[in-house]
Amino acid sequence: MRLERALPSEYLDRLDLANRLFDDDVRLVGIVALADGDVSLVTSQQFIYGTTPTRAEVGAYMRSLGFAPVLEPTDDPRTDLHFFDWYRERDGVAVADAKPANFLRAASGQLYAIDLIPAIVNEPLLLHFHERQPS
């Protein structure tokens, strides 16, 4: 799955979707004008004390939310990156960059998603995910 750089409005849509998917409360704090004329959105998220979960824990968590990996993990580093892309058919939601480094496991065992990239998929991407779904 390849995502383009998001417009601020698209980023805010993704932020809202991530909050709903992962029961989070990431908030827009401000907007910073950059020297090149671009803008940067500043967000905040509750501080979570935790450790990095294993890939198996991330997989179990994503599956518990109804997601399936776009590709099953392999020992091939060229294709294994796609393990971090997930798709949920019932509502056409894809999540990219769901690697262990983008999660925290709290002392309670709860996983928290940090900086994942969710999106409602369009028709070409939907076909791509259907072709790669495990049987």
Q: Mention every residue, 6+ apart, whose C-beta is less than 8 A from residue 68.
A: 86, 87, 88, 89, 133, 134
Percent with pLDDT over 70 in the chain: 78
Please determine, for residue 93, whether its predicted confidence score (pLDDT) is greater than 90.
yes
On the question of pLDDT at 124 being above 70, the answer is no
* Rounded-to-integer distance, Cα 47 and Cα 103, Å: 13
pLDDT reading at 21 higher than 60? yes
More confident residue, 4 or 103: 103
Residues of the chain with pLDDT > 90, as a percent, come to 57
The reported pTM is: 0.78
Give me the pLDDT at residue 71, please: 76
Q: Are 26 and 19 in contact (CB under 8 A)?
A: yes
Out of 10-14, 43-47, 113-117, 127-131, least confident range: 127-131
Dump pLDDT digits (tens) for 25-50: 999 999 999 999 888 899 999 899 99
Q: Which of 94, 93, 98, 66 is nearest to 83 (CA)?
A: 98
Tokens linked to 121: 């998929």
The pLDDT of residue 123: 61
Report the alpha-carbon distance of residue 75 to residue 9 in Å, rounded: 38
